Structure 1
Amino acid sequence: VNNLYGPTEDTTYSTHAVTDPGAERTPLGRALPGSRVHLLDSDLRPVPLGAIGEVYLSGQGVTRGYHQRPGLTAERYLPLPEGEGGRLYRTGDLARWRPCTTADGGVEFFLDYHGRVDHQVKLRGFRIEPGEVEHALLQHPAVSEAVVTVHGDHLIAHIATRIPSQDDPVVPEERGEDDEQILLRYLRSCLPQHLVPARIVVMDALPRTPNGKVDRKALPEPTSVPSTGAAEPPGTEAQHLVAELFAGLLGRPVTNIHDDFFSLGGHSLLATRLVSRLNALTGASLPLRVVFEHPTIAGLAEFLPEPASGPVRPAAIPRLRRTLGRAGAASGVPSD
């Protein structure tokens, strides 16, 4: 199938690709003669190879603007940098360059479509392109489809699983984990934390509209936040300390030492506050990455110094609460 891409503002077509109808991503291919493609970030800087950027077009086909609409023309048409002459047209489409090996062993770069800029969202100060998270999910061999949406202050992913074949490898550490935890751990290994969804809803198939597109309105709401193991209450001073801090920062009781800080609603800003409080209260020097690598009460407690790692003494709990109370509202920890 020949796929020709180009907005009206670039006269007719700008790029061309020969594609497989079953491809995971819509390839835009390479620029046609007379056209040039630029992938730029929000500051109009070229994005690194492999990163998602907005498609800007230049060349002989770019039109002069919109008839009697100077405001819209100024928004969508920009002069080429460094006095090159001509202009750039801002398409609002997102794409990334994908390297491909040619028949003679060389490398060519093709453009893959990754959605629209107006699908971008801003969460906790970060500008997020859900398509980037979807792309990462689709790289996992167990995922056949992925859609990422926003619920309140969190990203939620809905995925359809692929039927495994006999040739699929079984990763030892994944045995006994559910699909959601496997995928969350995978995403944390390849994406910044602010791009990792709070929940991943695993489905046999994503709902479709009559014209075959994913029906986002029909996606099920995520249920309660998952735990990463059987429920187990805190049993040491260190675990009680971490549990109290979790509860204060997240605004909810946390009673299972295997609950995941980020699955419960934590994010990078709260993780920074968590580490700061832990270090201030225990004299530890934990780096921020420990929270991302060991985001449970049990995991973090292992990094706290003695004597907090021993069995909890009943008399220590009121003292612990008083200490947390003195830490004050800066940590969000409630006191008795």
Structure 2
Amino acid sequence: MSLTEAVAAAPATGTTADRPPVHELVSRFARLTPQRAAVRSGDATIGYRGLDAWAARIAARLAAAGVGRGDRVAILAAPGTAMVAGALGILKSGAAYVPVDRALPDHRVAAVLADARVSAAVVTADLEHRVTGGVPVVRAEDTEQPDDGDQDDEPEGSHTDRAAASPADPAYLIYTSGTTGEPKGVLVEHAQLSASTAARAEVYPDAGVFLLVSPLAFDSSVAGLWGTLTTGGTLVVARPEEVTDPERLLGLVDRHTVTRLLCVPSLYSVLLDAAERTGTAALRSLRTVIMAGEPLPQTLLDRHFRLLRETELVNEYGPTEATVWASYRRYTGPAPVTIGRAVPGVSLYVLDERGEPVPDGTEGELYIGGEQVARGYFGRPEATGAAFLPDPHRPGGRRYRTGDLVVRRADGTLDFRGRGDHQVKIRGHRVELGAVEEELRGLPGVRDAAVVPDAGRTLLTGFVRTEPGTDPAALRQELARRLPDAMVPARLLAVDAFPLTVNGKVDRAGLAERAEQTPVAAPEAPAAQGDTTAQVAAAWAEVLKIPSVPLDVNFFDLGGHSLTMYQLQTALESRTGVRPSVVSLFRHTTVAAQAALLAGGAEDGRDDSAAGRREAAARRVSARRARRSRDKEDVA
């Protein structure tokens, strides 16, 4: 059976009652196209039949551990084929998967496991030690040889699908930041996941090859994972060391002939930086680039079409509470940025403070209705009741109050105007500024605190009023032990008082302006350390926006993150004439270590000279040709 026939045999559209849950659609492709590549990651490739059988074995292990329909099972796994099999296996067991971000501090991981009241955890071996509290553990890794044979019998263990999920059963539980800093889980049922996935199949009808760069705990992973595997496509899962290196991401796109990519705009901007340095040929296979998780800058949209004229760009908008996405705008050329119109099956309402519709051209709050509205916040009935309201236009339906401000244009598309509260997106992560401020106020020596984002939404700056003798750097280190990376301000600035608006409130716009204008003095390195050390320290100060850089402190402990590491790579090149690889910078994370690295010619990383990049590009072309040749043989 051809792929086109297989997709036709597994309809995505329809009503809630006749849409199969996503794991059943994957099983259907395991029978219809058993040998087709389902997941690729690193050197591993597994077909649909092998993936389905692997997931069935995980489901059987969960059943043996006492997991049943409606339970919640944590998944803490490194990106790769085992991660995908683990999520699929949890759904096959009748349970909902609860993805846990590997980057969370230990106490935060424990808080998520406790709040979700998980019955078990599926883990990869390297992360098993992070599951505490007596939670039963099931390994995601599989020692059995995958069976991708073209056979008509069911994969062994598929009987676990008999724990058939009803539309009202939970499918997954994803955690976001709460207003108090505590994790808050959004519970999505199979009905909403199926509706969202069906809408995605309608908007993006071709299966294609999807590059997954989002962590499983990031709700945009739902789009790549189930949007690809329920339509017979191939999912390429980027490994952590590839996500942190834009040139290696370019290599993944090129090597696997990726046709679709979804990421936050800040990461895509870095990817285009790399493409401009090494050539855009590596991105030639892309048919669709999807922006989500952050507002899309107009400059990035224009830049995309300047470099990739034949690749469409889609701007998606949607909160976790509406099952990943609620609106989209497809671009085939430069045009003004909007968040577009509702996705199939979704209703969008722009209302005033009384809940009444506002005229076109008038700012109002966005409410989302339709089949994709999640069940609510797990174990938080009051928060659920405040945000999930009855939909007067759909008997028995509900609509979600987003807190986002929008304006509907005359053509029906929506302009995003920001938040009506103090919630922001930092590198795609939803952050409640109030939660960060509350944690700061709880630290010894802090009288008051205010936190603002930078213009690019890549970092936070905290302002603190402190007792005499309190060290802001020590405060930041303590905060880093309590909160996820995206919630920790890159720097804390001590102030005597906060600027106020005419209404007596903290002038956040004034603080943001002050953060941007606060000068960063390049630190002076000891003369004995040599010029290279001083140049490295100056590059750190420029990127991290701090006046003093210790020589032996980790880059990430001073507020660095993966995106600033890319900026550091460029800053080091401009100051030293050497462009070290991102991989080598991640291995050498102090000023002293990077100075030694550069003094030695950055030999432990890739050759990032112009000649080296040309040679690497030639190797990528050769690898791509070899891959396409093998793919043709597989099809034959």
- Which TM-score applies when normalising by structure 1? 0.44
> Which structure: greater helix fraction?
2
